[in-house]
Amino acid sequence: ADAYVEQLRTLATSSEDTQLQSAALNAVAEGPSREAGDLLEAALNSWDARVRANALEALDRREAGEGVFLRFTRDPNPRVRANVARALIHRGRSEGQQVLEQMLSGDEAERISGLWAFSKTHPEGFSRTAQMLAEQDPSQRVRQKAAELLATA
């Protein structure tokens, strides 16, 4: 992989294809260098939510400080906030549960992303919410995701 590091860095910082940029960012993030961390931090300023979400997920794997995640608790994108909730819950921060609570009472995309974050963290007290969503949510997609989550929990 070392032979491709420069090409990956170039793609991670300058590709106009955000899917490609996001994938390259994840590949670069696997490296231990400080430069990889700097690239991820820079990607947090991307206009594209996928790039921001993947950068946050990679920073979480690299055990970045909680301040990085606190900046994104109000990001307009549910995928970004789901990664933030997961990272903050793993760090024992109440803000993570607050983000998750907001997501599970938001619109359909928010609830689905919130269920994903819930499935990765299983914070105490949220099982009842997932059960309620599985039984009563107006969206078939949300009911199905919640039921799948509860079946595998």
Other C-beta atoms closer than 10 Å to the C-beta of 97 total 18
**H or E stretch including 51?**
helix 49-61
pLDDT of residue 113: 96
- The string of pLDDT tens digits covering residues 68-114 is 999 999 999 999 999 999 999 999 999 999 999 999 999 999 999 99
Instruction: Answer whether 95's CB lies under 8 Å from 107's CB.
Output: no
The pLDDT score that the predictor gives to residue 2 is: 54
pLDDT at residue 152, as a whole number: 84
Please tell me the distance from the alpha carbon of residue 83 to that of residue 63, in angstroms, as a whole number.
Answer: 13
